[in-house]
Structure 1
Amino acid sequence: MNKWIGLDIGGTKILGALYGEDNKSIAQSKKKTKAQEGVEIVMEQVFKVIDALYETIPKDETSTLLGIGIGVPGIVTTDGIVKFSPNIPFKDFELKSLIEKRYQVPVSVGNDVNVAMFGEYKFISDPANKNVLGLFVGTGIGGAIIIDGELYVGQGAAAEFGHIVVNADGAFCGCGAQGCLEAYASKTAMQRYVETQLSKGRLSVLKDFHEKDGAVIKSSTLQKAYEANDTLAVEVIQYASKYLGIAIGSLVNMFHPDLFILGGGIMESLGKEMMPLVLKEAERHAMPSLLDSVRFEISKLGDDAGIYGAFQLIKRD
Protein backbone atom coordinates (compact mmCIF):
# COMPACT_ATOMS: atom_id res chain seq x y z
CA MET A 1 0.00 0.00 0.00
CA ASN A 2 1.39 3.36 -1.03
CA LYS A 3 1.50 6.11 1.59
CA TRP A 4 1.81 9.90 1.64
CA ILE A 5 2.37 12.42 4.44
CA GLY A 6 0.45 15.68 4.69
CA LEU A 7 1.96 18.40 6.90
CA ASP A 8 0.48 21.68 8.11
CA ILE A 9 3.14 23.97 9.61
CA GLY A 10 1.46 26.72 11.63
CA GLY A 11 2.67 29.49 13.86
CA THR A 12 1.84 27.57 17.04
CA LYS A 13 1.61 23.90 16.03
CA ILE A 14 2.76 21.46 13.38
CA LEU A 15 0.15 18.85 12.46
CA GLY A 16 0.89 15.87 10.25
CA ALA A 17 -0.98 12.83 9.01
CA LEU A 18 -0.14 9.65 7.13
CA TYR A 19 -2.59 8.81 4.34
CA GLY A 20 -3.20 5.71 2.25
CA GLU A 21 -4.54 5.12 -1.23
CA ASP A 22 -8.11 5.26 0.05
CA ASN A 23 -7.60 8.96 1.03
CA LYS A 24 -8.09 8.14 4.71
CA SER A 25 -5.83 9.15 7.58
CA ILE A 26 -3.91 6.24 9.07
CA ALA A 27 -2.01 8.09 11.80
CA GLN A 28 -1.52 11.64 13.04
CA SER A 29 1.25 13.47 14.90
CA LYS A 30 1.41 16.96 16.41
CA LYS A 31 4.16 19.10 17.92
CA LYS A 32 4.50 22.71 19.02
CA THR A 33 6.18 24.85 16.36
CA LYS A 34 8.39 26.73 18.86
CA ALA A 35 8.72 29.50 16.27
CA GLN A 36 10.20 31.94 18.78
CA GLU A 37 13.21 29.63 19.26
CA GLY A 38 14.49 29.98 15.71
CA VAL A 39 14.48 28.16 12.41
CA GLU A 40 16.65 25.21 13.51
CA ILE A 41 14.32 24.37 16.39
CA VAL A 42 11.29 24.70 14.11
CA MET A 43 12.82 22.23 11.67
CA GLU A 44 13.64 19.83 14.51
CA GLN A 45 9.94 19.88 15.38
CA VAL A 46 9.01 19.30 11.74
CA PHE A 47 11.38 16.31 11.56
CA LYS A 48 9.90 14.87 14.76
CA VAL A 49 6.40 14.94 13.27
CA ILE A 50 7.51 13.36 9.99
CA ASP A 51 9.64 10.74 11.78
CA ALA A 52 6.76 9.76 14.06
CA LEU A 53 4.50 9.23 11.04
CA TYR A 54 7.20 7.39 9.11
CA GLU A 55 7.59 4.95 11.99
CA THR A 56 3.95 3.90 11.63
CA ILE A 57 4.50 2.62 8.07
CA PRO A 58 4.76 -1.19 8.04
CA LYS A 59 8.29 -2.19 7.08
CA ASP A 60 7.45 -4.53 4.23
CA GLU A 61 7.85 -4.46 0.48
CA THR A 62 4.25 -3.42 -0.18
CA SER A 63 4.32 -0.23 1.93
CA THR A 64 6.11 2.75 0.40
CA LEU A 65 6.20 6.44 1.27
CA LEU A 66 5.70 8.19 -2.07
CA GLY A 67 5.93 11.81 -0.97
CA ILE A 68 5.35 14.59 1.54
CA GLY A 69 3.02 17.55 1.03
CA ILE A 70 3.39 20.70 3.13
CA GLY A 71 1.29 23.80 3.77
CA VAL A 72 3.01 26.79 5.37
CA PRO A 73 1.80 30.37 5.95
CA GLY A 74 3.34 33.10 3.85
CA ILE A 75 4.68 33.54 0.34
CA VAL A 76 5.82 30.28 -1.22
CA THR A 77 7.38 30.01 -4.68
CA THR A 78 6.47 27.28 -7.13
CA ASP A 79 9.83 25.59 -6.42
CA GLY A 80 9.13 25.32 -2.70
CA ILE A 81 11.06 28.27 -1.32
CA VAL A 82 9.34 30.11 1.54
CA LYS A 83 10.14 33.73 0.73
CA PHE A 84 8.45 35.05 3.85
CA SER A 85 6.28 33.68 6.63
CA PRO A 86 4.55 36.02 9.10
CA ASN A 87 4.71 33.78 12.18
CA ILE A 88 7.58 31.40 11.43
CA PRO A 89 11.27 32.38 11.01
CA PHE A 90 11.42 31.31 7.35
CA LYS A 91 12.95 33.83 4.94
CA ASP A 92 14.11 32.69 1.50
CA PHE A 93 14.05 29.26 3.10
CA GLU A 94 14.47 26.24 0.79
CA LEU A 95 11.98 24.03 2.60
CA LYS A 96 11.23 21.67 -0.29
CA SER A 97 14.84 20.78 -1.07
CA LEU A 98 15.71 20.38 2.62
CA ILE A 99 12.91 17.86 3.22
CA GLU A 100 13.64 16.03 -0.04
CA LYS A 101 17.34 15.59 0.83
CA ARG A 102 16.53 14.26 4.29
CA TYR A 103 13.78 11.79 3.35
CA GLN A 104 14.63 11.03 -0.30
CA VAL A 105 11.03 11.40 -1.50
CA PRO A 106 9.28 14.04 -3.64
CA VAL A 107 7.98 17.06 -1.69
CA SER A 108 5.37 19.69 -2.60
CA VAL A 109 5.09 22.94 -0.64
CA GLY A 110 2.33 25.54 -0.88
CA ASN A 111 0.77 28.44 0.96
CA ASP A 112 -1.31 27.11 3.86
CA VAL A 113 -4.60 28.64 2.73
CA ASN A 114 -4.11 27.52 -0.88
CA VAL A 115 -3.36 24.02 0.37
CA ALA A 116 -6.28 23.92 2.82
CA MET A 117 -8.77 25.06 0.21
CA PHE A 118 -7.41 22.51 -2.25
CA GLY A 119 -8.12 19.92 0.43
CA GLU A 120 -11.70 21.15 0.80
CA TYR A 121 -12.14 21.00 -2.97
CA LYS A 122 -10.80 17.47 -3.25
CA PHE A 123 -12.90 16.36 -0.27
CA ILE A 124 -16.10 17.59 -1.95
CA SER A 125 -15.04 15.55 -5.01
CA ASP A 126 -17.71 16.77 -7.40
CA PRO A 127 -16.65 16.69 -11.08
CA ALA A 128 -19.14 19.48 -11.80
CA ASN A 129 -16.93 21.87 -9.84
CA LYS A 130 -14.04 22.57 -12.19
CA ASN A 131 -13.54 26.21 -11.27
CA VAL A 132 -13.58 27.04 -7.56
CA LEU A 133 -12.65 29.97 -5.35
CA GLY A 134 -11.88 29.77 -1.65
CA LEU A 135 -11.89 32.49 0.98
CA PHE A 136 -10.44 31.73 4.43
CA VAL A 137 -11.54 34.15 7.17
CA GLY A 138 -9.41 33.80 10.28
CA THR A 139 -6.86 35.98 12.05
CA GLY A 140 -6.11 37.24 8.55
CA ILE A 141 -7.83 36.50 5.25
CA GLY A 142 -6.44 34.22 2.58
CA GLY A 143 -7.76 32.71 -0.60
CA ALA A 144 -7.36 30.03 -3.23
CA ILE A 145 -8.07 29.67 -6.93
CA ILE A 146 -8.77 26.36 -8.66
CA ILE A 147 -9.05 26.44 -12.46
CA ASP A 148 -10.02 23.32 -14.41
CA GLY A 149 -9.46 21.27 -11.27
CA GLU A 150 -5.91 22.50 -10.69
CA LEU A 151 -4.66 24.85 -7.99
CA TYR A 152 -3.58 28.16 -9.54
CA VAL A 153 -0.80 29.99 -7.68
CA GLY A 154 0.67 32.26 -10.35
CA GLN A 155 4.33 32.76 -9.48
CA GLY A 156 3.57 31.45 -6.01
CA ALA A 157 1.50 34.13 -4.27
CA ALA A 158 -1.76 34.28 -6.23
CA ALA A 159 -5.15 34.50 -4.46
CA GLU A 160 -4.21 36.97 -1.71
CA PHE A 161 -7.88 37.88 -1.52
CA GLY A 162 -7.42 39.47 1.88
CA HIS A 163 -5.63 42.30 0.12
CA ILE A 164 -8.32 43.15 -2.39
CA VAL A 165 -9.09 46.83 -1.83
CA VAL A 166 -12.67 47.29 -0.66
CA ASN A 167 -12.30 50.90 0.51
CA ALA A 168 -9.58 52.87 -1.27
CA ASP A 169 -9.48 55.62 1.35
CA GLY A 170 -10.12 53.32 4.28
CA ALA A 171 -8.25 51.71 7.14
CA PHE A 172 -4.61 50.72 6.86
CA CYS A 173 -3.85 47.02 6.66
CA GLY A 174 -1.04 45.11 8.30
CA CYS A 175 0.51 44.69 4.84
CA GLY A 176 1.03 48.45 4.65
CA ALA A 177 -1.64 49.15 2.03
CA GLN A 178 -4.90 50.99 2.63
CA GLY A 179 -8.45 49.66 2.49
CA CYS A 180 -7.73 45.91 2.22
CA LEU A 181 -10.48 43.39 2.94
CA GLU A 182 -8.35 42.00 5.78
CA ALA A 183 -8.52 45.39 7.52
CA TYR A 184 -12.33 45.12 7.64
CA ALA A 185 -13.45 41.50 7.79
CA SER A 186 -10.70 39.42 9.43
CA LYS A 187 -10.92 38.27 13.02
CA THR A 188 -8.26 40.86 13.85
CA ALA A 189 -10.34 43.62 12.26
CA MET A 190 -13.47 42.49 14.08
CA GLN A 191 -11.55 42.45 17.35
CA ARG A 192 -10.33 45.99 16.70
CA TYR A 193 -13.87 47.16 15.92
CA VAL A 194 -15.20 45.66 19.16
CA GLU A 195 -12.39 47.16 21.24
CA THR A 196 -12.95 50.60 19.72
CA GLN A 197 -16.65 50.47 20.51
CA LEU A 198 -16.06 49.21 24.06
CA SER A 199 -13.59 52.05 24.65
CA LYS A 200 -16.41 54.47 23.78
CA GLY A 201 -18.51 53.04 26.59
CA ARG A 202 -20.72 50.71 24.52
CA LEU A 203 -22.56 48.13 26.60
CA SER A 204 -22.01 44.56 25.46
CA VAL A 205 -21.55 41.06 26.85
CA LEU A 206 -18.37 41.01 24.76
CA LYS A 207 -16.78 43.27 27.38
CA ASP A 208 -17.05 40.51 29.98
CA PHE A 209 -15.58 37.92 27.60
CA HIS A 210 -12.82 40.28 26.55
CA GLU A 211 -11.78 41.02 30.12
CA LYS A 212 -11.90 37.34 31.06
CA ASP A 213 -10.18 35.88 27.99
CA GLY A 214 -7.58 38.62 27.57
CA ALA A 215 -6.64 40.09 24.22
CA VAL A 216 -8.46 37.63 21.95
CA ILE A 217 -12.21 37.34 21.50
CA LYS A 218 -12.83 33.84 20.20
CA SER A 219 -15.07 33.06 17.23
CA SER A 220 -17.24 30.93 19.51
CA THR A 221 -17.62 33.90 21.86
CA LEU A 222 -18.85 36.11 19.02
CA GLN A 223 -21.28 33.37 18.05
CA LYS A 224 -22.75 33.16 21.56
CA ALA A 225 -23.07 36.95 21.79
CA TYR A 226 -24.73 37.09 18.37
CA GLU A 227 -27.20 34.36 19.33
CA ALA A 228 -28.00 36.37 22.49
CA ASN A 229 -28.82 39.31 20.17
CA ASP A 230 -26.08 41.44 21.70
CA THR A 231 -26.21 44.75 19.82
CA LEU A 232 -22.44 45.11 19.37
CA ALA A 233 -21.98 41.49 18.28
CA VAL A 234 -24.74 41.88 15.68
CA GLU A 235 -23.17 45.12 14.51
CA VAL A 236 -19.67 43.73 14.06
CA ILE A 237 -20.99 40.68 12.20
CA GLN A 238 -22.93 42.96 9.85
CA TYR A 239 -19.84 45.13 9.43
CA ALA A 240 -17.56 42.24 8.43
CA SER A 241 -20.26 40.63 6.26
CA LYS A 242 -20.66 43.84 4.27
CA TYR A 243 -17.02 43.93 3.24
CA LEU A 244 -16.85 40.20 2.58
CA GLY A 245 -19.84 40.65 0.28
CA ILE A 246 -18.15 43.51 -1.57
CA ALA A 247 -15.08 41.36 -2.20
CA ILE A 248 -17.06 38.27 -3.18
CA GLY A 249 -19.17 40.24 -5.64
CA SER A 250 -16.01 41.47 -7.34
CA LEU A 251 -14.44 38.00 -7.35
CA VAL A 252 -17.55 36.51 -8.94
CA ASN A 253 -17.35 39.20 -11.64
CA MET A 254 -13.73 38.26 -12.32
CA PHE A 255 -13.94 34.47 -12.19
CA HIS A 256 -17.62 33.38 -12.29
CA PRO A 257 -16.73 30.09 -10.55
CA ASP A 258 -18.84 26.96 -10.22
CA LEU A 259 -18.32 26.90 -6.45
CA PHE A 260 -17.22 29.34 -3.75
CA ILE A 261 -15.94 27.79 -0.49
CA LEU A 262 -15.71 29.92 2.66
CA GLY A 263 -13.61 28.65 5.54
CA GLY A 264 -11.64 29.71 8.60
CA GLY A 265 -12.65 30.03 12.23
CA ILE A 266 -15.03 32.92 11.68
CA MET A 267 -17.00 31.24 8.90
CA GLU A 268 -17.00 27.84 10.61
CA SER A 269 -18.50 29.41 13.76
CA LEU A 270 -20.70 32.09 12.20
CA GLY A 271 -21.19 31.03 8.60
CA LYS A 272 -24.87 30.25 9.10
CA GLU A 273 -25.48 33.76 10.41
CA MET A 274 -23.17 35.58 8.03
CA MET A 275 -23.88 33.94 4.67
CA PRO A 276 -27.27 35.62 4.05
CA LEU A 277 -25.72 39.00 4.87
CA VAL A 278 -22.65 38.33 2.73
CA LEU A 279 -24.67 37.19 -0.28
CA LYS A 280 -27.09 40.11 -0.02
CA GLU A 281 -24.14 42.51 -0.23
CA ALA A 282 -22.48 40.46 -2.98
CA GLU A 283 -25.62 40.84 -5.10
CA ARG A 284 -25.15 44.61 -5.00
CA HIS A 285 -21.66 44.30 -6.50
CA ALA A 286 -21.88 41.32 -8.84
CA MET A 287 -23.18 41.73 -12.38
CA PRO A 288 -26.86 40.78 -12.76
CA SER A 289 -27.54 37.01 -12.73
CA LEU A 290 -23.92 35.93 -12.21
CA LEU A 291 -24.46 34.86 -8.60
CA ASP A 292 -27.45 32.71 -9.56
CA SER A 293 -25.28 29.92 -10.94
CA VAL A 294 -22.58 30.00 -8.23
CA ARG A 295 -22.85 27.57 -5.33
CA PHE A 296 -21.63 28.70 -1.91
CA GLU A 297 -20.51 26.28 0.79
CA ILE A 298 -18.89 26.49 4.21
CA SER A 299 -15.71 24.40 4.61
CA LYS A 300 -16.18 20.95 6.10
CA LEU A 301 -12.76 19.72 7.18
CA GLY A 302 -11.94 22.20 9.96
CA ASP A 303 -8.40 21.80 11.31
CA ASP A 304 -7.81 18.79 9.03
CA ALA A 305 -8.14 20.85 5.83
CA GLY A 306 -4.45 21.74 5.84
CA ILE A 307 -3.09 18.21 6.23
CA TYR A 308 -5.64 16.72 3.83
CA GLY A 309 -4.88 19.40 1.25
CA ALA A 310 -1.12 18.85 1.65
CA PHE A 311 -1.66 15.12 1.08
CA GLN A 312 -3.74 15.79 -2.02
CA LEU A 313 -1.12 18.26 -3.28
CA ILE A 314 1.67 15.67 -3.22
CA LYS A 315 -0.55 12.81 -4.34
CA ARG A 316 -1.53 14.89 -7.38
CA ASP A 317 2.12 15.55 -8.24
Structure 2
Amino acid sequence: MTIQALALAANMPLRFEDLGLSPIALDLGFFTLKWYSLAYLSGILIGYWYLLKLLVQPGAPMARRHADDMIFYATLGIILGGRLAYVIFYDPEIWANPLDVLKLWNGGMSFHGGMIGVTVAIILMARKEGLNWLRVHDYVACCVPFGLLFGRLANFVNGELWGKTTDVPWAIIFPTGGDIPRHPSQLYEAALEGVVLFIILWFAFWKTKARYEPGKLVGLFLLGYGVFRFGVEYLREADAQFEGSFLYTHIHMGQILTLPMIVGGVYLIATAKQRRMRVEATAGTASIA
Protein backbone atom coordinates (compact mmCIF):
# COMPACT_ATOMS: atom_id res chain seq x y z
CA MET A 1 0.00 0.00 0.00
CA THR A 2 1.38 3.41 -0.99
CA ILE A 3 1.94 6.28 1.45
CA GLN A 4 -0.94 8.18 -0.16
CA ALA A 5 -3.26 5.22 0.34
CA LEU A 6 -2.23 4.85 3.98
CA ALA A 7 -2.82 8.56 4.58
CA LEU A 8 -6.24 8.32 2.94
CA ALA A 9 -7.17 5.29 5.05
CA ALA A 10 -6.03 7.07 8.22
CA ASN A 11 -8.36 9.97 7.49
CA MET A 12 -11.36 7.75 6.74
CA PRO A 13 -13.93 7.53 9.54
CA LEU A 14 -14.26 4.19 11.28
CA ARG A 15 -17.05 1.93 10.10
CA PHE A 16 -19.08 0.26 12.82
CA GLU A 17 -18.85 -3.12 11.08
CA ASP A 18 -15.06 -3.05 11.45
CA LEU A 19 -15.44 -3.21 15.24
CA GLY A 20 -16.79 -6.74 14.99
CA LEU A 21 -19.58 -6.09 17.49
CA SER A 22 -22.84 -8.02 17.65
CA PRO A 23 -26.05 -7.33 19.61
CA ILE A 24 -26.03 -11.01 20.62
CA ALA A 25 -23.79 -11.94 23.55
CA LEU A 26 -24.58 -15.67 23.53
CA ASP A 27 -26.31 -17.80 20.93
CA LEU A 28 -26.89 -21.47 21.75
CA GLY A 29 -29.44 -21.98 19.00
CA PHE A 30 -32.28 -22.74 21.38
CA PHE A 31 -31.38 -19.77 23.58
CA THR A 32 -30.17 -16.28 22.67
CA LEU A 33 -28.87 -13.70 25.14
CA LYS A 34 -28.53 -10.13 23.92
CA TRP A 35 -26.12 -7.54 25.32
CA TYR A 36 -29.07 -5.25 26.01
CA SER A 37 -30.64 -7.80 28.35
CA LEU A 38 -27.26 -8.50 29.91
CA ALA A 39 -26.78 -4.77 30.50
CA TYR A 40 -29.99 -4.55 32.52
CA LEU A 41 -29.13 -7.68 34.49
CA SER A 42 -25.58 -6.51 35.21
CA GLY A 43 -26.73 -3.03 36.21
CA ILE A 44 -29.22 -4.42 38.70
CA LEU A 45 -26.87 -7.02 40.22
CA ILE A 46 -23.83 -4.73 40.52
CA GLY A 47 -26.05 -1.94 41.80
CA TYR A 48 -27.37 -4.32 44.47
CA TRP A 49 -23.83 -5.31 45.44
CA TYR A 50 -22.84 -1.65 45.80
CA LEU A 51 -25.99 -0.88 47.78
CA LEU A 52 -24.98 -3.50 50.34
CA LYS A 53 -21.59 -1.76 50.65
CA LEU A 54 -23.35 1.52 51.40
CA LEU A 55 -25.70 -0.04 53.93
CA VAL A 56 -22.92 -1.28 56.22
CA GLN A 57 -21.93 2.33 56.89
CA PRO A 58 -23.27 3.97 60.09
CA GLY A 59 -26.78 5.40 59.97
CA ALA A 60 -28.09 3.39 57.00
CA PRO A 61 -31.81 3.98 56.30
CA MET A 62 -32.61 0.30 55.89
CA ALA A 63 -31.27 -3.15 56.73
CA ARG A 64 -30.05 -5.98 54.49
CA ARG A 65 -33.51 -7.58 54.58
CA HIS A 66 -34.99 -4.38 53.14
CA ALA A 67 -32.39 -4.31 50.37
CA ASP A 68 -33.38 -7.85 49.35
CA ASP A 69 -36.98 -6.67 48.92
CA MET A 70 -35.81 -3.47 47.24
CA ILE A 71 -34.13 -5.32 44.40
CA PHE A 72 -37.45 -6.99 43.53
CA TYR A 73 -39.50 -3.80 43.71
CA ALA A 74 -36.90 -1.79 41.80
CA THR A 75 -36.68 -4.35 39.00
CA LEU A 76 -40.45 -4.22 38.51
CA GLY A 77 -40.31 -0.42 38.55
CA ILE A 78 -37.57 -0.32 35.93
CA ILE A 79 -39.35 -2.70 33.56
CA LEU A 80 -42.92 -1.43 33.92
CA GLY A 81 -42.08 2.26 34.19
CA GLY A 82 -39.43 2.19 31.48
CA ARG A 83 -41.60 0.34 28.97
CA LEU A 84 -44.80 2.30 29.58
CA ALA A 85 -43.03 5.66 29.34
CA TYR A 86 -41.38 4.61 26.09
CA VAL A 87 -44.62 3.67 24.36
CA ILE A 88 -46.36 6.80 25.69
CA PHE A 89 -43.73 9.40 24.81
CA TYR A 90 -41.73 7.81 21.99
CA ASP A 91 -43.89 5.23 20.22
CA PRO A 92 -47.61 5.82 20.91
CA GLU A 93 -48.56 4.07 17.65
CA ILE A 94 -47.65 0.77 19.29
CA TRP A 95 -51.02 0.86 21.07
CA ALA A 96 -52.59 -0.13 17.73
CA ASN A 97 -51.26 -3.61 18.61
CA PRO A 98 -51.43 -3.66 22.43
CA LEU A 99 -49.67 -7.01 22.72
CA ASP A 100 -46.55 -5.40 21.24
CA VAL A 101 -46.24 -3.37 24.45
CA LEU A 102 -45.25 -6.61 26.20
CA LYS A 103 -42.51 -7.47 23.68
CA LEU A 104 -39.59 -6.15 25.72
CA TRP A 105 -37.14 -8.22 23.69
CA ASN A 106 -37.74 -5.90 20.73
CA GLY A 107 -36.23 -3.02 22.71
CA GLY A 108 -37.73 0.31 23.63
CA MET A 109 -37.22 1.51 27.20
CA SER A 110 -37.27 5.02 28.64
CA PHE A 111 -34.89 5.91 31.46
CA HIS A 112 -37.22 8.64 32.68
CA GLY A 113 -40.04 6.12 32.98
CA GLY A 114 -37.78 3.61 34.70
CA MET A 115 -36.74 6.29 37.19
CA ILE A 116 -40.37 7.08 37.99
CA GLY A 117 -41.10 3.37 38.33
CA VAL A 118 -38.23 2.91 40.79
CA THR A 119 -39.34 5.96 42.79
CA VAL A 120 -42.86 4.56 43.12
CA ALA A 121 -41.40 1.18 44.13
CA ILE A 122 -39.25 2.82 46.82
CA ILE A 123 -42.20 4.78 48.21
CA LEU A 124 -44.40 1.67 48.38
CA MET A 125 -41.71 -0.43 50.04
CA ALA A 126 -40.78 2.34 52.49
CA ARG A 127 -44.40 2.83 53.54
CA LYS A 128 -44.81 -0.90 54.02
CA GLU A 129 -41.68 -1.17 56.17
CA GLY A 130 -41.95 2.19 57.96
CA LEU A 131 -38.79 3.63 56.41
CA ASN A 132 -37.84 7.15 55.32
CA TRP A 133 -38.36 6.83 51.56
CA LEU A 134 -36.23 9.86 50.68
CA ARG A 135 -33.20 8.52 52.56
CA VAL A 136 -33.69 5.11 50.94
CA HIS A 137 -33.84 6.86 47.58
CA ASP A 138 -30.54 8.62 48.36
CA TYR A 139 -28.79 5.29 48.70
CA VAL A 140 -30.45 3.78 45.62
CA ALA A 141 -29.52 6.84 43.53
CA CYS A 142 -25.84 6.16 44.19
CA CYS A 143 -26.22 2.77 42.49
CA VAL A 144 -28.05 3.85 39.34
CA PRO A 145 -24.97 4.96 37.30
CA PHE A 146 -23.96 1.31 36.90
CA GLY A 147 -27.13 0.60 34.95
CA LEU A 148 -26.72 3.79 32.91
CA LEU A 149 -23.16 2.86 31.98
CA PHE A 150 -24.02 -0.66 30.85
CA GLY A 151 -27.20 0.47 29.11
CA ARG A 152 -25.42 3.08 27.00
CA LEU A 153 -22.65 0.63 26.12
CA ALA A 154 -25.34 -1.81 25.00
CA ASN A 155 -26.85 0.94 22.83
CA PHE A 156 -23.44 1.34 21.19
CA VAL A 157 -23.00 -2.39 20.64
CA ASN A 158 -26.46 -2.46 19.05
CA GLY A 159 -25.45 0.40 16.74
CA GLU A 160 -28.51 2.43 17.80
CA LEU A 161 -29.22 5.93 19.17
CA TRP A 162 -26.23 7.36 17.30
CA GLY A 163 -25.34 11.04 17.13
CA LYS A 164 -25.47 13.75 14.51
CA THR A 165 -23.13 13.97 11.56
CA THR A 166 -19.64 15.21 12.35
CA ASP A 167 -16.05 15.28 11.10
CA VAL A 168 -14.33 14.62 14.45
CA PRO A 169 -11.50 12.04 14.22
CA TRP A 170 -13.44 9.50 16.32
CA ALA A 171 -16.60 9.66 14.19
CA ILE A 172 -18.21 6.34 13.27
CA ILE A 173 -20.35 5.30 10.30
CA PHE A 174 -23.25 3.30 11.75
CA PRO A 175 -25.11 0.76 9.54
CA THR A 176 -28.53 2.29 10.22
CA GLY A 177 -27.32 5.89 10.11
CA GLY A 178 -26.50 6.19 6.44
CA ASP A 179 -23.06 6.26 4.86
CA ILE A 180 -22.00 9.33 6.85
CA PRO A 181 -19.80 9.68 9.96
CA ARG A 182 -21.62 10.41 13.21
CA HIS A 183 -20.91 11.19 16.84
CA PRO A 184 -20.78 8.02 18.98
CA SER A 185 -23.13 9.78 21.40
CA GLN A 186 -23.84 6.52 23.21
CA LEU A 187 -20.24 6.56 24.47
CA TYR A 188 -20.52 10.21 25.52
CA GLU A 189 -23.55 9.33 27.63
CA ALA A 190 -21.87 6.22 29.04
CA ALA A 191 -18.93 8.34 30.19
CA LEU A 192 -20.99 11.21 31.63
CA GLU A 193 -24.08 9.46 33.00
CA GLY A 194 -22.20 6.35 34.04
CA VAL A 195 -18.63 7.17 35.05
CA VAL A 196 -18.67 10.90 35.89
CA LEU A 197 -22.02 10.78 37.69
CA PHE A 198 -20.87 7.78 39.72
CA ILE A 199 -17.73 9.66 40.79
CA ILE A 200 -19.80 12.69 41.85
CA LEU A 201 -22.13 10.55 43.96
CA TRP A 202 -19.24 8.46 45.33
CA PHE A 203 -17.48 11.59 46.54
CA ALA A 204 -20.67 13.05 48.04
CA PHE A 205 -21.47 9.83 49.90
CA TRP A 206 -18.02 8.83 51.14
CA LYS A 207 -16.29 12.21 51.55
CA THR A 208 -19.11 14.49 52.75
CA LYS A 209 -22.11 14.30 55.10
CA ALA A 210 -24.58 14.30 52.20
CA ARG A 211 -26.18 11.02 53.28
CA TYR A 212 -27.34 12.68 56.51
CA GLU A 213 -29.25 15.35 54.56
CA PRO A 214 -32.25 13.51 53.07
CA GLY A 215 -32.70 14.20 49.39
CA LYS A 216 -29.26 15.62 48.70
CA LEU A 217 -27.88 12.57 46.94
CA VAL A 218 -31.07 12.17 44.91
CA GLY A 219 -30.82 15.86 44.02
CA LEU A 220 -27.22 15.46 42.87
CA PHE A 221 -28.23 12.52 40.73
CA LEU A 222 -31.19 14.31 39.15
CA LEU A 223 -29.22 17.47 38.47
CA GLY A 224 -26.16 15.63 37.17
CA TYR A 225 -28.09 13.30 34.90
CA GLY A 226 -30.35 16.11 33.71
CA VAL A 227 -27.49 18.42 32.75
CA PHE A 228 -25.47 15.64 31.08
CA ARG A 229 -28.43 14.27 29.13
CA PHE A 230 -29.64 17.72 28.08
CA GLY A 231 -26.17 18.62 26.79
CA VAL A 232 -25.47 15.37 24.91
CA GLU A 233 -28.85 15.60 23.18
CA TYR A 234 -27.39 18.46 21.11
CA LEU A 235 -24.97 15.93 19.60
CA ARG A 236 -27.48 13.10 19.35
CA GLU A 237 -29.75 12.57 16.36
CA ALA A 238 -33.38 13.25 17.23
CA ASP A 239 -35.83 10.37 17.25
CA ALA A 240 -36.96 9.65 13.68
CA GLN A 241 -40.65 9.48 14.62
CA PHE A 242 -40.56 13.23 15.43
CA GLU A 243 -39.01 14.25 12.10
CA GLY A 244 -40.41 17.53 10.83
CA SER A 245 -41.83 18.51 14.22
CA PHE A 246 -40.70 20.97 16.88
CA LEU A 247 -39.30 18.02 18.87
CA TYR A 248 -36.96 17.28 15.96
CA THR A 249 -35.71 20.68 14.87
CA HIS A 250 -35.59 22.73 18.09
CA ILE A 251 -35.63 20.56 21.20
CA HIS A 252 -35.68 16.80 21.69
CA MET A 253 -38.18 14.79 23.71
CA GLY A 254 -35.30 13.65 25.93
CA GLN A 255 -34.49 17.26 26.77
CA ILE A 256 -38.09 18.10 27.63
CA LEU A 257 -38.36 15.09 29.95
CA THR A 258 -35.06 16.10 31.55
CA LEU A 259 -36.10 19.63 32.52
CA PRO A 260 -38.23 18.54 35.52
CA MET A 261 -35.26 16.48 36.72
CA ILE A 262 -32.97 19.51 36.68
CA VAL A 263 -35.50 21.67 38.52
CA GLY A 264 -36.22 18.92 41.04
CA GLY A 265 -32.52 18.28 41.58
CA VAL A 266 -31.78 21.93 42.30
CA TYR A 267 -34.69 22.07 44.76
CA LEU A 268 -33.65 18.93 46.65
CA ILE A 269 -30.04 20.10 46.96
CA ALA A 270 -31.03 23.61 48.06
CA THR A 271 -33.42 22.34 50.75
CA ALA A 272 -31.43 19.31 51.93
CA LYS A 273 -29.95 20.99 55.01
CA GLN A 274 -33.45 21.82 56.24
CA ARG A 275 -34.15 18.09 56.37
CA ARG A 276 -30.94 17.21 58.21
CA MET A 277 -31.83 15.00 61.15
CA ARG A 278 -30.41 12.84 63.84
CA VAL A 279 -30.07 9.52 62.08
CA GLU A 280 -30.81 6.30 63.90
CA ALA A 281 -29.15 3.21 62.53
CA THR A 282 -31.69 0.72 61.22
CA ALA A 283 -29.86 -2.18 62.83
CA GLY A 284 -28.14 -1.55 66.17
CA THR A 285 -28.28 1.13 68.83
CA ALA A 286 -25.65 3.64 67.71
CA SER A 287 -26.89 7.09 66.74
CA ILE A 288 -25.10 9.15 64.14
CA ALA A 289 -25.60 12.92 64.44
- Please give the TM-score of this superposition, normalised by the length of structure 1: 0.28
Greater fraction strand: 1
Greater C-alpha radius of gyration: 2
Greater fraction helix: 2
